[in-house]
Copies of this chain bind each other. A is one copy, B any other.
Amino acid sequence: MNADRRFAALSERMSAEIAEARLHAEHLRMAEALLFASAEPMTEADLAERLPTGARVGRLVEDIAAYYSGRGVNLVKLAGGWAFRTAGDLSWMMAKDVVEPRKLSRAALETLAIVAYHQPVTRAEIEDIRGVSTSKGTLDTLIEAGWVRLRGRRRAPGRPVTYGTTRSFLDHFGLDAIGDLPGLDELKGSGFFEGRLPTGLAVPLPSDDDALREDEEPLEDGDLFMPLEVEGEDEDEEGEDGAPPSL
């Protein structure tokens, strides 16, 4: 019968197609495994060599790439071959932040202390008090630590940047307000000063108020992206050749 024959033909064709689909699916699994296990990107020739003869490598790769598109891992073309890679938008996950506790250097600690007590203070003033030039790195570290910020610029020749402490400075050191920093008498009383103190040594009244002082003017926008001006040379902090004492 005609219908029977047609049915038989149809059924045969369908069987063949099913068999082919099954084979393709199996080849997909193999290609997927090969691509996963390979240390280097695999070219289509590499794949063809490893897969059973008759595998349609081009279609396999396309199918796998489509299958993985939008997923956490994508099949991408790299160096002429194909390789699985973490999806680009998830690359941030592939890095791990390790918080590494680090002790502040003595130079940084001293600079921070001067900023805290003498703020608003310029770099030249810090250097004047410390008697050595302050490296850019030291102030950078303190800014990075979130304890020191750029306040403004001093209304003075050269308009130097003024530094001050931040709220996070207060948090870290357990201070309620900058005024809670102990004064000279308290420092003496707590034994921080040893021996005789020269007369006339004064500890200023620091201010970390957001409002600028009269002798300060605001920073320009650009200042925030170039936070540390280079004042003269950047000598090593602990270098012997600090600035000569200016009497």
Q: Is A71 engaged at the interface, CB distance under 8 Å to the other chain?
A: yes
In Å, the complex CA distance between A30 and B86 comes to: 9
A92 to chain B, nearest CB (A): 10
Closest to A29 in B: B72
Q: Is the interface of A mostly helix, strand, loop or mixed?
A: helix
5 contacts between A and B (CB under 8 A): A28-B72, A29-B70, A36-B86, A37-B86, A50-B96
- Contacting B at CB under 8 A, from A78-104, are 84, 86-87, 90, 93-94, 96
- Chain A interface residue count: which class? 20 to 34
Contacts of A45 in B (CB 8 A): none
Copies of the chain in the assembly: 2
In Å, the complex CA distance between A113 and B32 comes to: 34
Q: Is A73 engaged at the interface, CB distance under 8 Å to the other chain?
A: yes
- Contacting B at CB under 8 A, from A127-182, are none
Q: Is A230 engaged at the interface, CB distance under 8 Å to the other chain?
A: no
Partner of A32, one of B33, B34, B73: B73
Closest to A74 in B: B33
Contacts of A50 in B (CB 8 A): 93, 96
Q: Is A126 engaged at the interface, CB distance under 8 Å to the other chain?
A: no
Partner of A33, one of B31, B33, B36, B94: B94
Partner of A87, one of B29, B73, B84, B90: B29
Contacts of A96 in B (CB 8 A): 50
Known: A37-B94, A50-B96. 15 other contacts (CB 8 A): A28-B72, A29-B90, A30-B72, A31-B72, A32-B71, A32-B72, A32-B73, A33-B72, A33-B73, A33-B86, A33-B90, A33-B93, A33-B94, A36-B86, A50-B93
